[in-house]
Amino acid sequence: MRTDAPSFLAQVMTIVRRDLLRERRSGEVLWVTLPFGAIALLLVPLAIGTDAPTLQRIGPGMFWVIVMLFGVLIAIRQTNAGTQAQRDMVALTGLDPAAIFVGSTTASFMLLLVFETILGIVTIVLYDITPTGWVALPTVLVLAAAGLALLSTLAASIVSTGRSATALVPLLVAPLSVPLLLGATQAWEALRLGRSSLPWVLLMAIVGLLLAVVGVLSARPLQETA
C-alpha cells in the first residue's frame, strides 16, 4: 500500500513513460501517421505541378498545413481509443487529472517534434527548400509542436468519450489552430525576407501559455469516466 502520494512531476513522468512505451510498441506514429503525412507532401506536387519555383514558394506552407492537420491524429492517438476498463484503471490509480493532462501533452509534444523534424526533411528534399534561421526555426518548430499538443489534448478531453468523438476533435482543433498556423508560416516568411520573426514567435508562445492554463484548470472537471 502506498504511503505518500507521488509528486506532481513524478505523476507526469509516469504518464509520459506509459505513452512513449505504448508508441514504441505499437509504432502508430512512426509507421502509420508519419508515412501518411509524407505521402501527402508527395501528392501535392502531383496535383498542382512540379516546376521548381512554385514548389519552393508553396513548400513551407504545405509543410505547416500537413503538420497541423495530421498532427491532431498524433495527439489524439490514444485518448479516445482506450476502453472503459482502461479508463477505470487509470482513474483508480489516483493520478491527478492535471498530471494526466500535462503528461499526455508532453508525450504528444515529443512525438510531434519527431514528426515535424522528419516531415521537414522530406519537405526540404521534395520541394527544394533552403532553411534559414538556425535559432528562430527550431524555436518555431518547438512552439508549434507544444501549441498543437496542448490544443489537441484539451479538445480530446473536452469531447472525451462522447459519441463520434474521434471525428469531432479535428473539427474543434482545426479552426482554433489558426494562430499557430499563421505564427509558424509568417515567422518562416519573415526569416526568408530577412525581417524579425519575433512578433510571430511571441504570438505562438502566448497561445501555448493560455492553452496550458485552460488545460490544467479544466482537467479535474473533465475527468468523468461515465
Partner 1 sequence: MTANEHRTTVWPWIVMAVAGFHVFVASMTVPPDALQGQLSRIMYVHVPAAWLAYLAFGITMLGSAMYLWKKDLKWDRRAHASAEIGVMFTGMTIVLGMVWAKPTWGVWWTWDARLTLTAIMFFVYLGYLALRRTTDNLDMRAKRSAILGVLAIVQVPLVHFSVIWWRSLHQAPTLLNPEGPSMDTSMVITLLIAVSGFTVMYVAMMFKRIELSRLEDAVLVSEQTSSGPIAGHGITSPDLTGGS
Partner 2 sequence: MSDGAVLVDLEGVSVRAGAVRILDDVSLTVRAGEAVGIFGSNGAGKTTLLRLIATLQPPQGGRCSVFGADMYSVARYDVRHRIGYVGHTPGLYPELTLLENLAFVADAQGLPTSEALRSLELVGLGGAADRRADHSSHGMQRRTEFARILMTGPELLLLDEPHSALDADAINLVDTLVHRTVDRGGAAVLVSHDRDRMNTLTTRTHEIKNGTLL
> Comparing C-alpha atoms, which of 203, 198, 204 is closest to residue 144?
204
With binding defined as CB under 8 A, does residue 111 bind partner 1? no
What type of residue is 170?
P
With binding defined as CB under 8 A, does residue 225 bind partner 2? yes
Q: Where are the alpha helices (DSSP H) in the chain?
A: 8-26, 28, 34-48, 52-75, 84-92, 97-127, 136-159, 165-176, 178-192, 198-222
Judged by CB under 8 A, which stretch of 11-19, 140-148, 171-179, 187-195 contacts partner 2? 11-19
Picked from partner 2, partner 1, none, the partner binding residue 11 (CB below 5 to 8 A depending on kind) is partner 2
- What kind and span of H or E run contains 163? none
What type of residue is 161?
T
With binding defined as CB under 8 A, does residue 192 bind partner 2? no
> Comparing C-alpha atoms, which of 137, 119, 118 is closest to residue 201?
137
Which positions from 22 to 41 touch partner 2 by CB under 8 A, shown as an x/- string? x--xx---------------
| Of 25 and 163, CB closest to partner 1 | 163
Rounded distance between C-alpha atoms, residue 40 and residue 50, angstroms: 15
Judged by CB under 8 A, which stretch of 12-20, 57-65, 165-173, 185-193 contacts partner 2? 12-20
Q: How many residues bind partner 2 (CB under 8 A)?
A: 34
| Of 60 and 77, CB closest to partner 2 | 77
Q: Helix, strand, or coil here: 132? A: coil
Picked from partner 2, partner 1, none, the partner binding residue 2 (CB below 5 to 8 A depending on kind) is partner 2
Residue 52: all three cell numbers together: 521548381
- Phi–psi pair at 145, nearest 5 degrees: -65, -40
Rounded distance between C-alpha atoms, residue 134 and residue 46, angstroms: 31
Which positions from 142 to 181 touch partner 1 by CB under 8 A, shown as an x/- string? ------------x---xxx-xxxx--x--xx-xxx-xx--
Shortest Å distance, C-beta 1 to partner 2: 4
Contacts of 77 (CB under 8 A, 6+ apart): 23, 28, 29, 33
With binding defined as CB under 8 A, does residue 198 bind partner 1? no
The footprint of partner 1 (CB under 8 A) covers 154, 158-160, 162-165, 168, 171-172, 174-176, 178-179, 182-183, 186, 199, 203, 206-207, 210-211, 214, 218, 221-222, 224, 226
The footprint of partner 2 (CB under 8 A) covers 1-6, 10-11, 14, 17-18, 21-22, 25-26, 83-97, 220, 224-226
